[in-house]
């Protein structure tokens, strides 16, 4: 068996002592304890699985099941966590507190949302279009400082000018007024957000990640735990 195995593939048996006895799986009188040990070995040894497959050593469906590589719970869990983290940054953040959201019944801010943390010094602001509005007047004020910037736009979007860029750890409030001014109540289109460093930004995006990202993260953790439990069980045998 060992000579055949070396000729069939370039894999090395992970447990040569068990690999040398793998042929006993074909013996009907093999002791149950030994059979279990050999089957556990076959589940983790690519060399022995490939050897038995090439030489047709497994003749019945029950034993053929162990030819298939075992499901890798750990790798699947890591991939799920990576996907959830990617989605947390690709998809827009979810509203963490609906009670803070302004303009729920009408025009409202699209980006940033209430309480959002941004990295940009001059972020782009977007809000929903108001029918009948010919332009919009934008006023930005600091929450805890004397920062103030006003401008206007013919479209429901504007980018803060570079000379008035936001400072680190600065929180501001934006209020948009329509022209004409009687289209929506004053202050109904407003948002409060802050500009902070990378660490607070990452923390915010993780906490405010969409539900799909959170479900993926939970599934990833479950798969990793299952993989750890499976490895412990296999090692015990």
pLDDT per residue as tens digits for the range 172-221:
999 999 999 999 988 889 999 999 999 999 999 999 998 899 999 999 99
Task: Say if 33 falls within a structural domain.
Answer: yes
Count CA atoms closer than 13 A to 32's CA, side-chain side. 0
Give domain status of residue 139, yes or no. Answer: yes
Q: Are residues 63 and 132 in the same domain?
A: no
Query: pTM here?
Result: 0.59
Q: Tell me, what CATH number does 175's domain have? A: 2.60.40.10
pLDDT in tens, 4-34: 444 444 567 888 887 788 777 777 788 888 8
**Same domain flag for 102 and 65:** no
- Omega cis (within 30) before 28: no
- Tell me whether residue 130 is in a domain: yes
d(CA 72, CA 69): 8
Q: In this structure, is the dihedral angle defined by the CA atoms of residues 229, 231, 232 and 237, taken in order, positive or negative?
A: positive
Confidence of residue 237 (pLDDT cuts 50, 70, 90): low
Residues 62 and 132 in one domain: no
Same domain, 50 and 115: no
State whether 117 and 62 are in the same domain: no
**pLDDT attached to residue 95:** 62
Last residue of a domain, one of 70, 104, 120: 70
Q: What is the spatial distance between Cα 135 and Cα 153, in angstroms, rounded to a whole number?
A: 6
Clarify whether residues 55 and 103 are in a common domain. no
Domain span at 6:
2-70
Q: Tens digits of per-residue pLDDT, 91-133?
A: 888 764 443 344 445 788 999 999 999 999 999 999 999 999 9
Tokens 């000379």, residue located: 163
Say yes or no to pLDDT of 224 above 70.
Answer: yes
Q: Is residue 226 part of a domain?
A: no
| 75 within some domain | no
Q: In this model, does residue 1 exceed pLDDT 50?
A: no
**Interhelix angle 211-236/32-44, nearest 10 degrees:** 140
The reported pLDDT for the residue numbered 187 is: 86
Distance between terminal CA atoms of the chain? 24
- Positive or negative, the Cα torsion across 46, 50, 53, 58? negative
Residue 235 within any structural domain of the chain: no
pLDDT at position 22 is: 75
- How much is the pLDDT for 215? 92
pLDDT tens-place string over residues 29-74: 888 888 888 888 878 887 777 766 665 544 445 554 544 556 788 8
Q: Compute CA distances 63 → 16, 32, 113, 133, 201, whole Å.
A: 21, 14, 57, 73, 53
Q: Number of folded domains in the chain? A: 2
What strands lie across the sheet with 117-118, from one edge to the other?
A: 117-118, 189-195, 170-179, 135-142, 148-153
Q: Are residues 124 and 187 in the same domain?
A: yes
pLDDT of the residue at 114? 93
């Amino acid at each position: 068996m060992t000579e055949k195995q070396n000729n069939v593939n370039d894999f090395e048996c992970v447990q040569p002592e068990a690999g040398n006895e793998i042929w006993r799986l074909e013996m009907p009188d093999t002791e149950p304890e030994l059979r279990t040990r050999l089957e556990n070995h076959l589940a983790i040894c690519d060399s022995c699985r490939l050897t038995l497959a090439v030489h047709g050593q497994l003749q019945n469906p029950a034993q053929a099941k162990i030819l298939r590589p075992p499901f890798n719970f750990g790798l699947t869990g890591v991939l799920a966590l990576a996907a959830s983290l990617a989605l947390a940054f690709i998809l827009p953040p979810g509203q963490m507190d609906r009670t803070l959201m302004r303009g729920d019944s009408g025009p409202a801010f699209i980006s940033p949302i209430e309480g959002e943390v941004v990295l940009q010094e001059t972020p782009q602001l977007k809000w929903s279009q108001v029918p009948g509005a010919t332009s919009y007047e934008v006023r930005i004020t600091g929450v805890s400082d004397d920062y103030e910037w006003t401008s206007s736009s013919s479209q429901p979007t504007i980018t803060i000018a570079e000379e008035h860029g936001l400072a680190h750890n600065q929180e501001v409030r934006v209020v948009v007024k329509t022209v004409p001014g009687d289209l929506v109540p004053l202050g109904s289109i407003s948002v409060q957000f802050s500009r902070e460093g990378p660490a607070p930004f990452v923390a915010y995006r993780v906490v405010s990640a969409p539900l799909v990202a959170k479900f993926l993260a939970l599934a990833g953790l479950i798969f990793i735990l299952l993989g750890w439990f499976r490895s412990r069980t296999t090692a015990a045998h």
